[in-house]
Chains A and B, each alone.
Chain A
């Protein structure tokens, strides 16, 4: 009978050494809420699971008003949405982490894992893109930094090489008068996968004029989709109903969804417009609060 090995390295170096030795047959284990299910369903061929939860850098969760938020790759969702500074400064991240799975799943599932699983419908990735987050990666050749919008390359695929692992995610320090929001559409009210998701952020100056805005979408392309034109269309303008509707229309026209058992392409495209508009209004309320 076939057995799968389990390794629990205590340092980044030890983890990289295992990845180097075992190549594609090794996978980093964070919460395991995707990985263990995929292995059980024969969807991933894994010889060794490398538990990241004993590596201090992967479990770091710290906020600095100057530097921003550092989110270790294996930190589970519940620690994120219960964190007082995150609740105050990154409500969009609370939106995402509190709807991934149910309460039990949130006790294990991590944002790093959500990112590395690289599903087009991942609920945390549009939010990270909206916040302008970057990721810190380490491998045999040392460290590198990648913006989240460049991380995923195809469904289930990303820029990590076989010998690399994700250390942490960094969200910039919050600007004054800024707000963000993530909304997803699901046919039910809980425990579902996004038919469409929209993560947005918006920053205003003292006069209420938009100085920056970012829009990213889930489940409407092979990867989470960053739509810079949608956010840019708001910059320099007052965030009126019309300006927000125009930005939402750009997002809608950029989306390139497919029809599947979760929804039709036409409905998904339409929902992008609705959700982007609603998310921008909610983000604006937060920016003004």
Chain B
């Protein structure tokens, strides 16, 4: 499907402005920053999952030739309070500081306990071996249900369970118990002809961005700090650094580099405050780069979880009640996106009787952070596989049951006002009409392998947030568009396209750039599927503001009333006068007039995006191996600004979902040691594991955006795990309820069948 032709620029597929630099290797990423007199930092990490730090002796390391400084927890300022840090809401900055550098306790294997700066990275690495840390090893707890037991080892002695604002009396690993309720579930289940209740467990997985965390920092003698960061939000880095370093925010400047993937994992800071403190001590700029093992051990990941879902339906397949129990592993510090998981759990459906209990639980694993639709893929895995079972029990078509129960405008949802106009029904209808769904499945694969087909729907919201940008009309009629939203997925193109559409110029006339925190006003992070939506809304308003300035200046130059000037695309006319933007730019320059404007805008968005996926799998029943043979992703993009990049987001989400479903997962031993902190044994899918992914873009315009945009980046990772599980069931009869659905698990389940 293509966008309606009412737009000149929106719906076309121009080349991205950052493309040439990236394919020629000229783009500067975090690890490419080189500064005069630059030194190199490295982090010493805890070998224990849970330990009290009794002492840190840095004297030998400091004595090594080439070492400039060594720091540990006692060198970090004491921190308290909260700071806004992204779509997850406010962050407890003491926890954030302790995660960056452990103070009294190491809470996961890989937790930073000290850092070295030296004249070369090799010397820094050698110096780490000379730091003596004395630990009192404590029993770890790495499973969410064990962490919730009353006698579990306590990670954070000050943590109390928050239940609706009421704090527990004693310390607990349960940070919060959230409840979402509507209607009467007792009655709903009593009205059901079929009730299915199932339990699920989920592994910890990592975002798996290509670029490891990297940054540079310079703390100058006058107190000015500059940070170069590969981040999803330069302003979030500034806020977190200011809080962790207890430094005036006005004396911090963050320069975002190009970013090699984030998926939510590059919102928290890890290295930046350490690099700043090392820079202050060494009196040199300091660069720090993680290796892959550090990335897997100490950053990300997404929560592991235990989920129980119960759904009931009448004999016609109408859902009468739904109940969920979600316990998410926050990792070392609270906040596992449990609320988002609860919001998404039953989101595609119109439910009258619901109860959802959510628990945010700390365990001795890395502090979890956002990963593409955080909390949603596992929640919807549970509900979408249970719904599939209900459809099967009642003999109802799997897409039909999703269509008949579909949520629509005005329906209830947890924690929020009712839905505005949404497009789930349209996604299911597009799935029903798709070539994939209408091609009969050949059940026999190669060498006797079994084939099956599965479907699943998914939801993810849109976060509005704040976006600021600056536009300047150049004398040749081009526009310099300065943005503060870091570009993790083609947003420079999609934002420039919306500006061009609104301002009446061509895409090529707009020159977008992502600039530092001193150059542009505040921007929330690139996350929550907000940038093309929210920053797109801001540039729409910017274009209108610049047009207003042009009209004002023209009224003077042409000596006509401003109200008489009409704008048609790039042409301005009044009373016999007429000129294009390019002609006007020259005219303004000749008259010493400069058109520039800045804007800060906050969108208002109560909408969100839905997707429905169809997958065919092939199962080798002898080995338990599952291959994906055909995949179609259907998604409501609202309006696809740049359809190729929308398709790319859909395909990328599916690729990550395939890894989550089949092969990825943290493996821990009983002491809480991560056994697979390399990409050899943390198995992300390769190109041979991901088939070509067909995409169908559905466009149900978002009523809260001038061009109807919905965020597209996150929802495509939501349905794959469930769709693949439903397809494995179709092929083999197995209902798998633990991820990943690895060959060992599939084979064992087949043996028990």
Residues of A within 8 A of B (CB): 1-2, 185, 187-193, 195, 260-264, 266-267, 270-271, 274
Q: List 15 A-B contacts (CB under 8 A).
A: A1-B120, A2-B122, A185-B625, A187-B662, A188-B688, A192-B683, A261-B667, A261-B681, A263-B744, A264-B748, A266-B748, A267-B743, A267-B747, A270-B747, A271-B623
Residue numbers in B under 8 Å from A193 (CB-CB): 680-681
Write the chain B residue with the least CB distance to A40: B291
How far does the alpha carbon of A1 sit from the alpha carbon of B64 in the complex, in Å? 9
A261 contacts B675, CB within 8 Å?
yes
A188 contacts B122, CB within 8 Å?
no
Interface string of B245-277 (1 = CB under 8 A from A): 000000000000000000000000000000000
Query: Shortest Cβ distance from B449 into chain A, in angstroms?
Result: 13
A261 contacts B676, CB within 8 Å?
yes
Query: Shortest Cβ distance from A91 into chain B, in angstroms?
Result: 19
Query: Shortest Cβ distance from A2 into chain B, in angstroms?
Result: 6
Residue numbers in B under 8 Å from A260 (CB-CB): 675
B688 contacts A189, CB within 8 Å?
yes
Residue B686 is within 8 A (CB to CB) of chain A in the complex: yes
How far does the alpha carbon of A188 sit from the alpha carbon of B683 in the complex, in Å? 8
B622 contacts A274, CB within 8 Å?
yes
Write the chain A residue with the least CB distance to B127: A1
Residue numbers in B under 8 Å from A195 (CB-CB): 743
Contacts A1-B126, A193-B680, A267-B624 given: A188-B689 contact, CB under 8 Å?
Answer: yes
Residue numbers in A under 8 Å from B126 (CB-CB): 1-2
Residue B627 is within 8 A (CB to CB) of chain A in the complex: yes
Residue numbers in A under 8 Å from B686 (CB-CB): 188-191
Write the chain A residue with the least CB distance to B625: A187
Interface string of B602-646 (1 = CB under 8 A from A): 000000000000000000001111010000000000000000000
Residue numbers in B under 8 Å from A187 (CB-CB): 625, 662-663, 683, 742-743
Contact of A1 among B123, B623, B743, B744 (CB under 8 A): B123
Residue B477 is within 8 A (CB to CB) of chain A in the complex: no
- Count contacts between A and B, CB distance < 8 Å: 57
Residue B685 is within 8 A (CB to CB) of chain A in the complex: yes
How far does the alpha carbon of A263 sit from the alpha carbon of B623 in the complex, in Å? 12
Can you name 5 extra interface pairs (CB under 8 A) apart from A195-B743, A264-B748?
A1-B120, A1-B122, A2-B122, A185-B743, A261-B675
Residue B66 is within 8 A (CB to CB) of chain A in the complex: yes
Residue B687 is within 8 A (CB to CB) of chain A in the complex: yes
Q: Which of B709-748 contact A (CB under 8 A)?
A: 742-744, 747-748
Residue numbers in A under 8 Å from B747 (CB-CB): 267, 270
Residue numbers in A under 8 Å from B122 (CB-CB): 1-2
Where chain B touches its partner, the secondary structure class is: loop
How far does the alpha carbon of A269 sit from the alpha carbon of B402 in the complex, in Å? 42
A189 contacts B689, CB within 8 Å?
yes
Query: Shortest Cβ distance from A74 into chain B, in angstroms?
Result: 24
A190 contacts B687, CB within 8 Å?
yes
Residues of B within 8 A of A (CB): 65-66, 120, 122-123, 126, 622-625, 627, 662-663, 667, 675-676, 680-681, 683, 685-689, 742-744, 747-748
Residue numbers in A under 8 Å from B685 (CB-CB): 188
Contact of B748 among A1, A190, A262, A267 (CB under 8 A): A267
How far does the alpha carbon of A270 sit from the alpha carbon of B564 in the complex, in Å? 83
Write the chain B residue with the least CB distance to A2: B126
Residue numbers in B under 8 Å from A267 (CB-CB): 624, 743-744, 747-748
Query: Shortest Cβ distance from B47 into chain A, in angstroms?
Result: 13
Query: Shortest Cβ distance from B629 into chain A, in angstroms?
Result: 12
B681 contacts A262, CB within 8 Å?
yes
B623 contacts A185, CB within 8 Å?
yes
How far does the alpha carbon of A1 sit from the alpha carbon of B130 in the complex, in Å? 13
Residue numbers in B under 8 Å from A271 (CB-CB): 623
Residue numbers in B under 8 Å from A261 (CB-CB): 667, 675-676, 681
How far does the alpha carbon of A266 sit from the alpha carbon of B749 in the complex, in Å? 13
Residue numbers in A under 8 Å from B683 (CB-CB): 187-188, 192
Contact of A190 among B622, B681, B688, B743 (CB under 8 A): B688
Query: Shortest Cβ distance from B176 into chain A, in angstroms?
Result: 32
3 nearest CB pairs, A to B:
A189-B688, A261-B667, A190-B688
Residue numbers in B under 8 Å from A189 (CB-CB): 627, 686, 688-689
Residue numbers in A under 8 Å from B681 (CB-CB): 193, 261-262
How far does the alpha carbon of A270 sit from the alpha carbon of B675 in the complex, in Å? 24
How far does the alpha carbon of A263 sit from the alpha carbon of B627 in the complex, in Å? 18
Residue numbers in B under 8 Å from A192 (CB-CB): 680, 683
Query: Shortest Cβ distance from A183 into chain B, in angstroms?
Result: 11
Contact of A263 among B66, B622, B743 (CB under 8 A): B743
Query: Shortest Cβ distance from B376 into chain A, in angstroms?
Result: 25
Query: Shortest Cβ distance from B126 into chain A, in angstroms?
Result: 6
A1 contacts B66, CB within 8 Å?
yes
How far does the alpha carbon of A219 sit from the alpha carbon of B246 in the complex, in Å? 53
How far does the alpha carbon of A10 sit from the alpha carbon of B680 in the complex, in Å? 35
How far does the alpha carbon of A185 sit from the alpha carbon of B744 in the complex, in Å? 11
How far does the alpha carbon of A193 sit from the alpha carbon of B688 in the complex, in Å? 15
Write the chain B residue with the least CB distance to A267: B744
Residue numbers in A under 8 Å from B662 (CB-CB): 187
Query: Shortest Cβ distance from A276 into chain B, in angstroms?
Result: 12
How far does the alpha carbon of A242 sit from the alpha carbon of B743 in the complex, in Å? 26
How far does the alpha carbon of A10 sit from the alpha carbon of B303 in the complex, in Å? 55
B66 contacts A264, CB within 8 Å?
no
Query: Shortest Cβ distance from B374 into chain A, in angstroms?
Result: 25
How far does the alpha carbon of A270 sit from the alpha carbon of B750 in the complex, in Å? 13
How far does the alpha carbon of A254 sit from the alpha carbon of B742 in the complex, in Å? 25
B743 contacts A274, CB within 8 Å?
no
How far does the alpha carbon of A262 sit from the alpha carbon of B675 in the complex, in Å? 10
Write the chain A residue with the least CB distance to B668: A261
Residue numbers in B under 8 Å from A266 (CB-CB): 748
How far does the alpha carbon of A2 sit from the alpha carbon of B683 in the complex, in Å? 34
How far does the alpha carbon of A266 sit from the alpha carbon of B120 in the complex, in Å? 48
Query: Shortest Cβ distance from B721 into chain A, in angstroms?
Result: 16
Write the chain B residue with the least CB distance to A195: B743
Write the chain B residue with the least CB distance to A185: B623
Residue numbers in A under 8 Å from B687 (CB-CB): 190
Query: Shortest Cβ distance from A37 into chain B, in angstroms?
Result: 10
How far does the alpha carbon of A191 sit from the alpha carbon of B688 in the complex, in Å? 10
How far does the alpha carbon of A185 sit from the alpha carbon of B662 in the complex, in Å? 15
How far does the alpha carbon of A267 sit from the alpha carbon of B680 in the complex, in Å? 20
Query: Shortest Cβ distance from B646 into chain A, in angstroms?
Result: 28
Residue numbers in B under 8 Å from A270 (CB-CB): 747
Query: Shortest Cβ distance from A182 into chain B, in angstroms?
Result: 16
Contacts A189-B688, A193-B680 given: A264-B623 contact, CB under 8 Å?
Answer: no
Write the chain B residue with the least CB distance to A193: B680
Write the chain B residue with the least CB distance to A3: B122
Query: Shortest Cβ distance from B718 into chain A, in angstroms?
Result: 23
How far does the alpha carbon of A267 sit from the alpha carbon of B622 in the complex, in Å? 10
A190 contacts B689, CB within 8 Å?
yes
Query: Shortest Cβ distance from B448 into chain A, in angstroms?
Result: 12
How far does the alpha carbon of A1 sit from the alpha carbon of B123 in the complex, in Å? 6
Residue numbers in A under 8 Å from B680 (CB-CB): 192-193
Residue numbers in A under 8 Å from B625 (CB-CB): 185, 187
How far does the alpha carbon of A267 sit from the alpha carbon of B123 in the complex, in Å? 44
Residue numbers in A under 8 Å from B627 (CB-CB): 189
How far does the alpha carbon of A1 sit from the alpha carbon of B120 in the complex, in Å? 9
Write the chain A residue with the least CB distance to B663: A187
Residue numbers in B under 8 Å from A263 (CB-CB): 743-744
How far does the alpha carbon of A266 sit from the alpha carbon of B686 in the complex, in Å? 26
Residue numbers in B under 8 Å from A190 (CB-CB): 686-689
Query: Shortest Cβ distance from B119 into chain A, in angstroms?
Result: 9
Write the chain A residue with the least CB distance to B690: A189
Residue numbers in B under 8 Å from A264 (CB-CB): 744, 748
Query: Shortest Cβ distance from A281 into chain B, in angstroms?
Result: 11
Query: Shortest Cβ distance from B692 into chain A, in angstroms?
Result: 15
How far does the alpha carbon of A274 sit from the alpha carbon of B688 in the complex, in Å? 22
Residue numbers in B under 8 Å from A274 (CB-CB): 622-623
Query: Shortest Cβ distance from A60 into chain B, in angstroms?
Result: 31
How far does the alpha carbon of A237 sit from the alpha carbon of B440 in the complex, in Å? 45
How far does the alpha carbon of A260 sit from the alpha carbon of B669 in the complex, in Å? 10
Query: Shortest Cβ distance from A110 into chain B, in angstroms?
Result: 19
